[in-house]
A and B are shown apart, each in its own frame.
Chain A
Amino acid sequence: MDYLDELESKSIYIIREAYKQYRNIAMLWSIGKDSTSLLWLCRKAFYGKIPFPVVHLDTSYKFREIYEFRDKYAKQWALNLIVGKNEEALARGICPEKGKLQCCTELKTNCLKAVIAKNNFRALLLGIRRDEHGIRAKERYFSPRNIDFQWDYKNQPPELWDQFKGKQQEEQHLRIHPLLHWTEYDIWAYVLREKIPIVSLYFAKNGKRYRSIGCKTCCNPIESNADSVEKIVEELRTTEVAERSGRAQDKEQAYMMQKLRMLGYM
């Protein structure tokens, strides 16, 4: 077993634990590299037949490539795809120009709340990683959120030896993070090894590529000539630039990420 095998096996173990413990679960798929890798691991865990829905939160501001990729692989991998969309907020004209925090809250957080309530999901699988962002270093693999989605990170019970929380309060749901121990580099090395299909936005065109993707309106590409997975892996060996540096959420307002988390954003 090499180190990617170890990472993979641990994630598959966690995914299988999540399904065994909570049964009524779903996976959030943003179509980015992390959640697409998570989806790949779910396919591996269940021999190509994922026994729970895959949720995409559609803000309507996503890139065209994201929608195309989603529809292609949802079909090819026979996914039970749920697309969540806050039509009511969109009808009210919510958009990033009128305030990014409100836009994320309405189109992502509130949208997710509605999807959870409608389907009565008890746990959600998310592709976050510990190295992504400072606050994520404090995450557990199995992390409870209360009815308002709040995360009490100062008062978490211990989590050790792959023994995860098996019970929850009625009003709680759990965020489960099978990729917590992976780094950005690991993800790309794994994508390369497994030949996981990845949305084309990550690959350089005319000297620019996206390193992290979200909504079209709030993402900026980085300078790069890496137009293949191999070249991205090589680029990451040497870079000093933080992964999410192109994301408006993090940059524009220092506390925005924390506020979003308190409000239940992923």
Chain B
Amino acid sequence: MAVKEKEHMKIVIVGHVDHGKSTLIGRLFFDTGSLPEGKAEELKKTCEAMGRELEFGFLMDSLEEERDQAITIDTTQSFFKTDKRNYVIIDAPGHKEFIRNMVTGASLAEAAILIVDASEGVQEQTKRHAYILSLLGLKQVIVALNKMDLVQYKQEKFEAVKKEIHEFLDSIGVNPEFTIPISAKEGDNIAKKSENMPWYDGPTVLKSLDSFNMKKRQTGNALRFPVQDVYHIDGKRIIVGRIESGKMAVGEPLLLLPNNSETAVKSIEVFLKPGMKKAVAGHSIGITTADPLFVDRGNVFCSKQGQPSMSNELKANLFWMSKQPIKLNERLTLKCATQQVGCIVKEIKKRYNSSSLELLEENAEQLNETEVGEVVIRADKPVVFDDFNQIQETGRFVLERGLDTVAGGIITK
């Protein structure tokens, strides 16, 4: 089917182990006709030979196995398409041991499907994954209550689990736009409306996905242009970086933090595009300024209205991802946009289990892998930042220990 503009939306499917992730993925491929040539027939034959019904879980297992063994598989296999657009399913393993891969995968996604077994209800990884979605600021979320066939497609069961999951999601600030009763195995409410659940009048999974928007950067927010580098090209001093939020136009005033110096945009420099007058969030550009300023990587150009916070101290929710726990006052490196500064975590006010969100300890001394902490960070130099809920790009950071990233954090104020 011809898709006019082949945009690709990246989605991630998360949920507890065995709640039906691979079956759902298999079903999405099958129902949209996106399986590699010959795969569907092969699967049917295998299932028949085993005297079993067609199971999509097998399909994903076989693809997964191939992938793990790195046998060539068709490029189409991680894509499926609807009339509206193409989708890419990002690799995001569900097991707890793979949490770092799950976070890496989910951080690239524009939308998420959180899958919950309607017969088992909310489980450990359901909550942890939901929490990670909230940490990553993913707003476009579908909750799919799977295995409705096992609960005789009963509305009461759906409503009960829906209530349970919504209560949890509410508490962590995730507001799913759709909650859909499905059976991935039987194909209910995936591509086709289910005849087994006449009581459900909402959209199918595919319709819901199609209603989402491609992730757009916030051009309406205040300007944040973190300096990435400074180049000297043909006698010009070009300050390069990516506009993380807002927009910029030649002649408009700029405030440079943390120095607090003022200037204006003299020119916007993009190769082979002379005379550009404006640029918006997401664009990697270069600028020259009206005044000769001292500028270095990590400085942030802002608009004068809607200035960010600037402080040595910041409050954050920290998600710890290293086997070796973090200890108070340990030397770490904080990276926020292009800023990089030495820091310590000076207080762990509260320590939570990221799955149950159960409060484990107040005024803790350390955080363990996959735990979440409400922390106070003290940086060696002032950091320019925003509240994550205002501007995500400058409201989030990672911590490095030695050579590796060990934590992700969102700034609460």
Contact = CB atoms under 8 A, between A and B. Distances in A.
Interface of A: 1, 3, 5-6, 8-10, 12-13, 16-17, 19-20, 43-49, 131-135, 137-138, 140, 156-161, 163, 165-169, 181, 183-186, 189, 237, 240, 242-244, 250-251, 254-255, 257-258, 261
A155 B100 CA distance: 9
Contact of A242 (B75, B240, B398): B75
B147 to A, nearest CB: 27
B69 A16 contact: no
B8 interface: yes
Contacts of B6: 185-186, 189, 237
A44 B240 CA distance: 12
Given A9-B282, A43-B271, 17 more contacts: A3-B8, A12-B284, A47-B269, A47-B271, A47-B286, A49-B233, A131-B88, A134-B73, A159-B405, A160-B398, A167-B403, A183-B8, A240-B36, A240-B37, A255-B70, A257-B72, A258-B70
Contact of B67 (A16, A135, A140, A184): A135
A138 B297 CA distance: 30
Interface string B390-413: 000100111010111110100000
A163 B70 contact: no
B282 A5 contact: yes
Nearest to A258: B70
B335 A159 contact: no
Contacts of B37: 240
Contacts of A168: 403
Contact of A44 (B70, B79, B272): B272
A101 to B, nearest CB: 15
Interface residues of B, number: 64
B283 A166 contact: no
Contacts of A132: 75
B336 to A, nearest CB: 9
Contacts of A258: 69-70
A138 B73 CA distance: 14
Contacts of B79: 131
A44 B284 CA distance: 10
A135 B100 CA distance: 18
A167 B340 CA distance: 12
Interface string B45-76: 00000000000000000000011011111111
A128 to B, nearest CB: 13
Nearest to A249: B72
A116 B217 CA distance: 39
A84 to B, nearest CB: 26
Contacts of A157: 100, 404-406
Given A20-B228, A47-B286, A167-B403, A160 B71 contact: no
B340 A166 contact: yes
B228 A16 contact: yes
Contact of A135 (B70, B269, B282, B398): B70
Contacts of A44: 270-272
A261 B405 CA distance: 24
Contacts of A6: 282
B78 interface: yes
Interface of B: 2-3, 5-8, 36-37, 66-67, 69-79, 88, 91, 100-101, 103-104, 107-108, 136, 214, 217, 228-229, 231, 233-234, 238, 240, 242, 269-272, 280, 282-284, 286, 297, 321, 335, 340, 393, 396-398, 400, 402-406, 408
A251 B408 CA distance: 41
**A-B pairs, 5 with minimum CB distance:** A258-B70, A160-B107, A157-B404, A12-B284, A135-B70
Contacts of A140: 104
Contact of A257 (B3, B70, B91, B240): B70
B271 A255 contact: no
Nearest to B335: A163
Contacts of A261: 70
B100 A156 contact: yes
A163 B396 CA distance: 10
Nearest to B215: A6
Nearest to A180: B108
A46 B403 contact: no
A134 B271 contact: no
A259 B238 CA distance: 44
Contact of A46 (B231, B321, B340): B231
A240 B76 CA distance: 8
B107 to A, nearest CB: 4
B179 to A, nearest CB: 27
Contacts of B67: 134-135, 137
**Which of A17, A134, A243, A258 counts the most B-chain CB atoms under 10 A from its CB?**
A134
A43 B270 CA distance: 11
Contacts of B88: 131
Given A158-B408, A237-B6, A13 B228 contact: yes
